[in-house]
A and B are shown apart, each in its own frame.
Chain A
Amino acid sequence: MAEIPDRLIEDTVVELLRLAVTKLPEDVEKALRRIFEEERSSAARMQMTAILENLKLAEETSTPLCQDTGIHVFFVKLGAPAGDIEKTIRRGVERATREVPLRPNAVHPVTRKNPGNNLGVHMPYVYYEPGEGGYLEITVMPKGAGSENMSQMAMLTPSAGEKGVKEFALNTILRAGSNPCPPIMVGMGIGGSADICMGLAKKALLRPIGSHNPDPEMARLERELFDALNGIGIGPMGLGGQNTLLSFNIEHAFCHTASHPVAINIQCWAARRATARLYPDGRVEYLTHKVRVATGGGQGTANGTAGKAAGKKEGN
Chain B
Amino acid sequence: MAEVHLRLPASEGEVRKLRAGETVYLTGTLFTARDEAHLRALEWKREGKELPVRFTEGALYHCGPIMKQEGDRWKIVAAGPTTSGRMNSLEPRFLEQIGARLIIGKGGMSKGVGEAMKKFGAAYLAFTGGAAVLAARRVKEVRGVHWLDLGMPEAIWVLDVEEFGPLTVGMDASGGSLFEDVARQIERNTVEAKRRLGLS
Q: Are B134 and A103 in contact (CB under 8 A)?
A: no
Q: Are A232 and B131 in contact (CB under 8 A)?
A: no
> Which A residues have a C-beta under 8 Å from some C-beta of B?
42-43, 46-47, 50-51, 53-54, 57-58, 61, 63-69, 101-105, 107, 112-114, 116, 144-146, 149, 163, 166-167, 170, 174, 177-179, 181, 224-225, 227-229, 231-235, 237-240, 268-270
Q: Are B132 and A54 in contact (CB under 8 A)?
A: yes
Measured between beta carbons, the chain A residues less than 8 angstroms from B154 are 114
CA A225 – CA B44 in complex, angstroms?
Answer: 48
Contact A239 to B126, CB < 8 A, known contacts A54-B132, A63-B78: yes
Measured between beta carbons, the chain A residues less than 8 angstroms from B197 are 166, 170, 224-225, 228
Chain A binding surface, main DSSP class = loop
Measured between beta carbons, the chain A residues less than 8 angstroms from B1 are 42
Contact A53 to B23, CB < 8 A, known contacts A163-B198, A178-B108, A232-B186: no
Measured between beta carbons, the chain A residues less than 8 angstroms from B9 are none
Measured between beta carbons, the chain A residues less than 8 angstroms from B130 are 51, 54, 65-66, 68, 144, 181, 268-270
Please provide the chain B residues from 163 to 200 with a CB less than 8 Å away from any CB of chain A in the complex: 166, 168, 170, 178-179, 181-183, 185-186, 188-190, 192-194, 196-199
CA A178 – CA B193 in complex, angstroms?
Answer: 18
Q: Are B132 and A67 in contact (CB under 8 A)?
A: yes
CA A42 – CA B108 in complex, angstroms?
Answer: 18
Q: Which of A66, A229, A239, A269 contacts B132 (CB 8 A)?
A: A66
Measured between beta carbons, the chain B residues less than 8 angstroms from A269 are 129-130
Measured between beta carbons, the chain A residues less than 8 angstroms from B199 are 163, 166-167, 170
Q: Which of B36, B66, B106, B128 contacts A103 (CB 8 A)?
A: B66
Residues 79-90 of chain B: 1 if any A CB is under 8 Å from the residue's CB, otherwise 0?
110110110000
Q: What interface size band does chain B fall in?
A: 35 or more
Q: Which of A66, A69, A144 has the most chain B CB atoms closer than 10 A to its own CB? A: A66
Q: Are B132 and A237 in contact (CB under 8 A)?
A: no
CA A268 – CA B82 in complex, angstroms?
Answer: 12
Q: Are B126 and A237 in contact (CB under 8 A)?
A: yes
Residues 6-40 of chain B: 1 if any A CB is under 8 Å from the residue's CB, otherwise 0?
00000000000000010100000000000010000
Contact A237 to B83, CB < 8 A, known contacts A101-B66, A114-B151, A166-B197: no
Q: Are B152 and A114 in contact (CB under 8 A)?
A: yes
CA A10 – CA B30 in complex, angstroms?
Answer: 38
Taking the nearest CB of chain A, how far is it from the CB of B129, in angstroms? 4
Q: Which of B133, B137, B189, B196 has the most chain A CB atoms closer than 10 A to its own CB? A: B133
Measured between beta carbons, the chain B residues less than 8 angstroms from A167 are 199
Measured between beta carbons, the chain A residues less than 8 angstroms from B166 are 46, 50
CA A101 – CA B153 in complex, angstroms?
Answer: 13
**Which of chain A's residues has its CB closest to B136's CB?**
A63
Taking the nearest CB of chain B, how far is it from the CB of A273, in angstroms? 15
**Which of chain B's residues has its CB closest to A103's CB?**
B66
Contact A179 to B21, CB < 8 A, known contacts A42-B1, A67-B64: no
Q: Are B137 and A57 in contact (CB under 8 A)?
A: yes
* Selected A-B contacts with CB under 8 Å, 12 pairs: A61-B133, A66-B130, A107-B151, A116-B152, A146-B82, A146-B129, A170-B193, A178-B179, A228-B197, A229-B193, A231-B193, A238-B179
Which 6 pairs of residues, A with B, have the shortest CB-CB distance?
Answer: A114-B151, A50-B128, A181-B129, A67-B78, A54-B131, A66-B130
Q: Are A179 and B65 in contact (CB under 8 A)?
A: no
Q: Are B151 and A179 in contact (CB under 8 A)?
A: no
State whether the Cβ of B53 lies closer than 8 Å to any Cβ in chain A.
no
Measured between beta carbons, the chain B residues less than 8 angstroms from A170 are 190, 193-194, 197, 199
Measured between beta carbons, the chain A residues less than 8 angstroms from B178 are 43, 239-240
Taking the nearest CB of chain B, how far is it from the CB of A96, in angstroms? 12
**Which of chain A's residues has its CB closest to B134's CB?**
A54
Q: Are A67 and B21 in contact (CB under 8 A)?
A: no
State whether the Cβ of B77 lies closer than 8 Å to any Cβ in chain A.
yes
Q: Are A234 and B186 in contact (CB under 8 A)?
A: yes
Q: Are B137 and A64 in contact (CB under 8 A)?
A: no
Measured between beta carbons, the chain A residues less than 8 angstroms from B179 are 178, 238-239
Q: Are A50 and B134 in contact (CB under 8 A)?
A: yes
Measured between beta carbons, the chain A residues less than 8 angstroms from B188 are 233
Q: Are B168 and A65 in contact (CB under 8 A)?
A: no
CA A294 – CA B156 in complex, angstroms?
Answer: 38
Measured between beta carbons, the chain B residues less than 8 angstroms from A232 are 186, 189-190, 193
Q: Which of A54, A149, A227 contacts B128 (CB 8 A)?
A: A54
